[in-house]
Amino acid sequence: MSEKLWVFDTTLRDGEQVPGCQLDTREKIIVAQALEALGIDILEAGFPISSPGDFNSVMEISKAVSRPTICALSRAVEKDIQVAADSLRYAKKGRIHTGIGVSGYHIQYKLRSNQEAVLERAVKAVKFAKNLVEEVEFYAEDAGRADKEYLARVLEEVIKAGAKVVNIPDTTGYCLPEEYGALIRFLKENVSNIDQAIISTHCHNDLGLATANTLSGVQNGARQVEVTVNGIGERAGNTSLEEVVMAIKCHKEIPVYTDINTRKIYETSRIISKLMNMPIQPNKAIVGRNAFAHSSGIHQDGVLKFRENYEIIDPKEVGVEESSIVLTARSGRAALKHHLGLLGYSFEGEKLDKIYEDFLSLADTKRDIGRKDLLSLLGEHIDNS
């Protein structure tokens, strides 16, 4: 039986931390409404203690968006938590996401503390937050590099204190997929009260493994994924929403479903890229300009015969009208014939061979061949026929 996978979007919190991506409140509301239409379940709207502007944005988003749970981040500090709760006062359903570093690095060199004191702070923070909002999520920062037994102990105590979701961030993007999946499995098997909480993944992409790690987490029992649209986020970014959602949709053997309206993926991706001034790399999975473009002759011929030969996703499923057959010097006759057909011309045999010869000579001099080039090429052949 397929289980619900909760999609927690942090485009407006972890994503917006990227230098040059800052949005004002009006722009954040546009993004929040686009995310609501996309069908995310939890919207992390900001880190309210960080600035008055961020506080105001979380509050205005809470008024403007009604379906998703609105989440605000805080450190395990009472003042932070109180401010986060205040920013959520208009939310239909509010969640505080509080937490603390649990790895040796964080405990020793960032917090200059010890395991027991950190555990105490974590429990205190969750109890404090629990009195202020409906839902509390606990993040165990740098869990990917933490001592597993200690992490399990922390989770057991914060769940007792009232955390309904426990987030296992691979903060530095260090884990390998098998390792991250094993960590989730270990927690499922060793935290005695884990069935009272949902395990969440939160992966960073420093080694390009964020999506793989997230999926491995899901395959081992996580039921919430923390993601951003286009994978934006600190350094190399966060897990891409679109990659995880489509991987799950393509792989029915992963026993979960999401409520994302995948037909809105492309449009949402473009809104966010434009507002955040963050271009999308052309070969980005799912939403890149070339994600559904075919340029080599062998692939073009295959895809024109039967789309599934070279495409695992129907572009319409993610809101892209159709795949494109790009004409370059690597294209074959099938692609040329296809484009001539779109212009209303049909050529076969020797005639097509001749046009193809001239097409290749032209294509060797240009990056790609457009409609205008084809029409002028055709002109010569029609005049000569």
> Cβ of 94: how many Cβ atoms within 10 Å?
22
Among residues 230 and 262, whose Cβ is nearest to ligand KIV?
230
Q: Is 202 annotated as a binding residue?
A: yes
- Whole-angstrom distance, CA of residue 372 vs CA of residue 375: 5
- Residue 240 contacts which entry, ligand KIV, Zn ion, none (Cβ below 5-8 A, type-dependent): none
Among residues 201 and 331, whose Cβ is nearest to ligand KIV?
201
Binding of ligand KIV by 169 (CB under 6 A)? yes
> Cβ of 172: how many Cβ atoms within 10 Å?
17
Radius of gyration in angstroms for the set of CA atoms belonging to the chain, rounded to a whole number? 25
Backbone angles phi, psi at 262, to 5 degrees: -60, -25
Tokens of 308: 């599934």
Among residues 44 and 156, whose Cβ is nearest to Zn ion?
44
Q: Is 41 annotated as a binding residue?
A: no
Q: CB 298 → Zn ion: shortest distance, Å?
A: 41
Give the length of the chain.
Answer: 385
Residue entry with tokens 């963050």: 278
- Whole-angstrom distance, CA of residue 86 vs CA of residue 59: 8
- Whole-angstrom distance, CA of residue 25 vs CA of residue 32: 10
Q: CB 17 → ligand KIV: shortest distance, Å?
A: 8
| Tally of CA atoms within 13 A in the half-sphere of 333 that contains its CB | 12
Binding mask 130-149 for ligand KIV (x = CB under 6 A): ---------x-x--------
User: Which residue in 175, 173, 189, 248 sits closest to 218, CA to CA?
Assistant: 248
Which residues on neighbouring strands pair with residue 140, listed in sequence order? 100
Q: Are 373 and 345 in contact (CB under 8 A)?
A: no
Binding mask 330-349 for ligand KIV (x = CB under 6 A): --------------------
Q: CB 296 → ligand KIV: shortest distance, Å?
A: 39
Tokens of 235: 């350094």
- Residue 156 contacts which entry, Zn ion, ligand KIV, none (Cβ below 5-8 A, type-dependent): none
Exactly one of 14, 27, 156, 242 binds ligand KIV (CB under 6 A); which one?
A: 14
Residues 6+ apart with CB under 8 A from 114: 107
Give the binding range for Zn ion (CB under 5 A) out of 10-18, 93-101, 136-144, 320-328.
10-18
- Residue 337 contacts which entry, ligand KIV, Zn ion, none (Cβ below 5-8 A, type-dependent): none
Exactly one of 14, 44, 141, 142 binds Zn ion (CB under 5 A); which one?
A: 14
- Whole-angstrom distance, CA of residue 161 vs CA of residue 175: 28
Exactly one of 62, 87, 171, 323 binds ligand KIV (CB under 6 A); which one?
A: 171
Binding mask 183-212 for ligand KIV (x = CB under 6 A): -------------------x-x--------
What DSSP state is assigned to residue 173?
A: S
Applying CB under 6 A, the residues found at the interface with ligand KIV are: 14, 139, 141, 167, 169, 171, 202, 204
> Binding-site residues for Mn(2+), please?
14, 202, 204, 238
> Binding-site residues, please?
14, 202, 204, 238
